[in-house]
Amino acid sequence: MGRIPNVKEGLPTAALNALSILGENIRTARKRRGWTLEAMSSSMFVSRKTLASLEDGDPSVGLAVLAAALHSFNMVKDLSMIADPNRDQVGMFNERQNLPKRVRQQKTKKENLEF
């Protein structure tokens, strides 16, 4: 039986770098509050090792752990901003390209008219 592939192997370098920065940001926020790894991980109901992995930018850490960390900092609303359709420049461009050239008023059937 082959080994299970590492999550890191499938991610582009840019994604790994972003996760590393995210982890550093979480570490900085924790330290600014004067919280130890033990104290914060306990309040998140995760192990110290799991929180350390999040801070190290480990891509195998689950989203629930990230959400719990952001909740600890009172920043969980920021999670909903990720992949916000209103910030998707490519998607909005494509949407504009697919708009009809002209819009015509729909014809109504006489039986649908009520007087």
26: nearest Cα among 51, 63, 58: 51
- Structural domain includes residue 51: yes
What confidence tens digit (pLDDT) does each residue in 81-101 have?
A: 998 999 999 999 999 999 888
- Structural domain includes residue 13: yes
- Structural domain includes residue 44: yes
Q: How far from 102 is each of 22, 61, 68, 97, 105, CA to CA, in Å?
A: 45, 49, 48, 13, 10
Say if CB 69 and CB 26 are below 8 A apart. Answer: yes
pTM to 2 decimal places: 0.75
Helix axes 48-55, 37-44, angle to 10 degrees: 110
Q: What is the CATH number of the domain that holds 23?
A: 1.10.260.40
- Structural domain includes residue 112: no
DSSP conformational letter for 44: H
What confidence tens digit (pLDDT) does each residue in 10-34 have?
A: 899 999 999 999 999 999 999 999 9
- Structural domain includes residue 105: no
Count of domains forming the chain: 1
User: Using alpha carbons only, how large is the chain's radius of gyration in Å?
Assistant: 23
Range of the domain at 71: 7-77
- Structural domain includes residue 48: yes
